[in-house]
């Protein structure tokens, strides 16, 4: 079984996370790789989801930060993406307030480690 690569895009508000994500998705598309995206917003409304093409599986984690207040939703949504979409890579774009180490801790659960790298 091939393991899914997981990339965390983190940085302050306005640092270029979404711009980087758009470029990475273009590169992945050129290579013909199947990818998925998870986007986290502190508010109840998604702001940057239009940056992801409709043919790319997208999970939005709204109304909280995936490193603390909604970290349980992160694991559940990751599991669903892995089981249903079976992507080669998943890009997780955090909010500007997220702590990357805490996000990493959330995705390093034993149930996810078997299928990810």
Tokens of residue 55, six digits:
């043919």
Full-model pTM: 0.87
pLDDT attached to residue 56: 96
**Number of other residues whose CB lies within 10 A of the CB of residue 95:** 21
pLDDT of 111: 63
Q: How many domains does the chain have?
A: 1
Using CB atoms within 10 Å of the CB of residue 102, give its burial: 0 to 12 exposed, 13 to 18 middle, 19+ buried: middle
Are the C-beta atoms of 43 and 63 separated by less than 8 Å?
yes
pLDDT score, position 46: 77
CA–CA dist 54, 43 (Å, integer): 22
Low-confidence ranges of the chain (pLDDT < 50): none
pLDDT number for residue 117: 55
What's the pLDDT score for residue 80? Answer: 94
Range of the domain at 61: 5-113
CATH number at residue 49: 3.40.50.300
């Amino acid at each position: 079984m091939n393991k899914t690569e997981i990339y965390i895009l983190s940085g302050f508000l306005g640092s270029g996370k979404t711009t980087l994500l758009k470029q990475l998705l273009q590169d992945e598309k050129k290579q013909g790789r199947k990818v998925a995206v998870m986007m986290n917003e502190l508010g109840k409304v998604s702001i940057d989801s239009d940056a992801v093409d409709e043919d790319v599986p997208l999970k939005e984690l709204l109304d909280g930060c995936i490193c603390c207040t909604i970290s349980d939703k992160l694991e559940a949504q990751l599991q669903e993406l892995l089981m249903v979409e079976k992507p080669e890579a998943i890009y997780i774009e955090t909010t500007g307030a997220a702590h990357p180490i805490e996000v990493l801790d959330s995705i390093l659960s034993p149930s996810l480690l078997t299928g990810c790298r």
